[in-house]
Amino acid sequence: MPIITKITTQAKNSERYNVYLDYGKGEEYGFSVDEYVLVKFQLKKGRELDELDLTEIQYADDVKKAYNLALNYLSYRMRSKKEVHTYLKSKGIGEMIIQEVLHKLDDQRYIDDLEFAKAYARTQRSTTVKGPNLIRKELKEKGIADEYIDISLMDFSDNEQLQTAIKIADKTKGKNQKLSSSALRQKIEQTLQQKGYSFTIIQQLFHEWGVEKEEDAEWEALKHQGLKAHRRYEKYEGWEYERRMKQSLYRKGFAIEDIKRLLEELKSEE
């Protein structure tokens, strides 16, 4: 069995030590360990080690290195248990060691999925315009249990959601002045769904927030879309031209009476 002949501090890391062994053929480098492992196993010059000792020492050091990696990863911001697991796995850490590290971090409250979910939901509510459905989706992707997600979203009231939804609707309306009222409504509904708002909140928004444009604004939007369609279909004549124009503009949400009026104006300008 090998005997420890020398222990030296590593030049680049004062918390790690090089252990030298003699297997009966003279001194040679054996392994390196963290200071915690050095103390735990009472490693010192003259100590004889058997194969079980070496295996246990190596395993304990692997756990300590993985634990240090996890602490560094957690130093930047809170992480979910799944995020830490994924990170350690990406570093080539074995599953058994990962589970031991996660158990240790959990015991020491360095990871807490409920507190993580609360903090994440709170941050998203205060810094973004995401709705609860999108926040829920993101938390599930981070491995958070449904029970914890429900708790984290309890304070996200309908009124708060509605006020944020109105801000989104105002911004969407401002960027899409050339759409018909019908198309604008569809655009706003699609945007709110993508942002994570429920059908109930969207319907409440349309009930309290007017999406319909003034008559002049609707007409200007129709003329804008009509001229675009005209340039696309002006190569056609007569009935075929009118059919294509009506279909195109009707699909964009404009009233058929207004489309006919526009076609009459375009015809009179020829």
Distances (CA, A) of 22 to 16, 26, 47: 20, 5, 11
Report the distance separating Cα 27 and Cα 75, nearest Å: 40
pLDDT of residue 99: 97
CATH of domain 158-208: 1.10.10
Report the distance separating Cα 184 and Cα 188, nearest Å: 6
Q: What is 215-268's CATH topology? A: Arc Repressor Mutant, subunit A (1.10.10)
CATH architecture assigned to 113-152 = Orthogonal Bundle (1.10)
Question: Where does the chain hold its CATH 1.10.10 domain(s)?
Answer: 113-152, 158-208, 215-268
pLDDT in tens, 102-137: 999 999 999 999 999 999 999 999 999 999 999 999
Contact criterion met (CB below 8 Å) for 98 and 65: no
Q: Kindly report the backbone phi and psi dihedral angles of residue 29, in degrees, each rounded to the nearest multiple of 5, phi listed first.
A: -65, 130
pLDDT in tens, 47-62: 999 999 999 999 999 9
Q: Kindly report the backbone phi and psi dihedral angles of residue 20, in degrees, each rounded to the nearest multiple of 5, phi listed first.
A: -105, 140
Q: What is the mean pLDDT of residues 82-87?
A: 98
Report the distance separating Cα 86 and Cα 121, nearest Å: 21
User: Looking at the predicted structure, is the pLDDT value of residue 222 above 90?
Assistant: no
Report the distance separating Cα 82 and Cα 143, nearest Å: 5
**Would you state the structure tokens that stand for residue 251, as one six-digit string?**
């699909």
